[in-house]
């Protein structure tokens, strides 16, 4: 029969081993393992989103700041799903931060975050917002598991920050039907002021691509200017998207008609005095001393007045300016990619 002292020592050793094992399990939960994030001991996370007024018809960048409010549990993974009318085109994590990002058109997954208690991280999702989108809310889920697996290890959003996932898309746009193969494609739109835009691809595009013509007038939340020039109220957007909602670097011919009523109040009575205050995420050549920048939809755009086109035309540049018989101003210019034009 074993001695009492030996039995007591063995019991103490086993208790200590079990205790250490429990601590290890909390620090690094195994795949599929039930964690301490239970209904009786909830794990919370807070979230804020940098962009709550995205622009329809263009690519937008959303930065989700995630804070782990649990203790001692680490937050391991986050999944962000696309609201109705949104198409996710990319996902990334702040440089130097732990984690891996991946995405499909309907969701972005961030794994191996290893987010310690009270720590925060920034997760970026890029998404195209379809024409006609209005109010929306981002679905989001988080887990203690680093690979977003298992049950019983779900984090819950802090009720105080749940409202940060909602927003309202701004502006209006018209989207063409999928372009037929081997031919050009176009879209048109008219603003409340009577101004209009027609966007046409300069060459045939891949079958299934679509053209978007957008108008973002006064009150849309989109506003920028170029030095030395007074712009009209309407801002126009124009893009070509593939079937996955990704903006394509395709040359476009854009014609904007400024209604006579707007022309009369613009301070630009002569046809030749009109300019295009352009904004693009791709650097471009501007008229001297007009270069600037603006953040639209969470993305940084270069701005500046477009020069006149050389012969043959390049991108982007102004091809022509004139007035029609009704007294409307007609400006035709070359564009490229996913930009804005402010006449």
* Residues facing 252 on adjacent strands: 201, 335
Provide the pLDDT for residue 40: 60
Which residue numbers in the chain have pLDDT < 50?
1-35
Provide the pLDDT for residue 55: 87
Provide the pLDDT for residue 244: 86
Provide the pLDDT for residue 313: 65
Distance between alpha carbon 210 and the CA centroid of its chain, in Å? 19
- Dump pLDDT digits (tens) for 122-173: 999 999 999 988 899 999 999 999 999 988 899 999 999 999 999 999 888 8
- Dump pLDDT digits (tens) for 44-76: 999 999 988 888 888 899 999 999 999 999 999
CATH class of 44-168: mainly beta
In the sheet that 235-241 helps form, which strands lie side by side, from edge to edge? Answer: 172-175, 210-216, 235-241, 340-342, 277-280, 299-305, 292-296
Provide the pLDDT for residue 41: 66
Q: What angle do CA 37, 38, 39 make, to 5 degrees?
A: 135
Provide the pLDDT for residue 33: 38
pTM score, whole prediction: 0.79
Provide the pLDDT for residue 7: 38
């Amino acid at each position: 029969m074993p001695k009492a002292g030996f039995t007591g020592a063995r019991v103490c050793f086993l208790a200590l081993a079990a205790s250490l094992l429990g601590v290890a399990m909390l620090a690094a939960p195994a795949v599929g393992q039930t964690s301490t994030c239970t209904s009786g001991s909830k794990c919370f996370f807070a979230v804020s989103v940098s962009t709550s007024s995205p622009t329809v018809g263009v690519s937008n960048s959303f930065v989700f700041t995630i804070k782990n409010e649990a203790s001692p549990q680490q937050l391991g993974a986050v999944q962000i799903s696309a609201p109705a009318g949104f198409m996710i085109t990319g996902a990334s994590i702040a440089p130097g931060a732990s984690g891996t990002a991946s995405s499909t058109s309907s969701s972005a997954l961030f794994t191996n975050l290893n987010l310690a208690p009270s720590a925060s991280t920034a997760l970026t999702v890029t998404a195209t917002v379809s024409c006609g989108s209005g109010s929306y809310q981002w679905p989001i889920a988080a887990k203690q598991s680093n690979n977003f697996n298992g049950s019983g290890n779900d984090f819950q959003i802090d009720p105080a920050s749940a409202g940060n996932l909602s927003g309202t898309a701004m502006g209006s746009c018209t989207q063409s039907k999928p372009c037929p193969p081997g031919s050009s494609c176009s879209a048109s739109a008219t603003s409340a002021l009577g101004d209009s835009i027609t966007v046409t691809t300069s060459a045939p595009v891949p079958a299934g691509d679509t053209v978007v013509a957008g108008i973002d007038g006064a009150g849309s939340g989109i506003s920028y200017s170029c030095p030395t020039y007074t712009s009209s109220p309407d801002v126009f957007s124009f893009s070509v998207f593939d079937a996955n909602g990704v903006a394509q670097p395709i040359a476009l011919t854009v014609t904007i008609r400024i209604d006579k009523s707007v022309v009369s109040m613009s301070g630009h009575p002569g046809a030749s005095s009109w300019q295009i205050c352009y904004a693009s995420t791709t650097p471009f050549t501007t008229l001297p001393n007009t270069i600037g920048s603006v953040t639209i939809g969470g993305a940084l755009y270069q701005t500046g007045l477009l020069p006149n086109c050389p012969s043959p035309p390049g991108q982007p540049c102004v091809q022509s300016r004139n007035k029609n018989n009704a007294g409307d101003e007609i400006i035709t210019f070359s564009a490229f990619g996913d930009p804005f034009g402010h006449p």
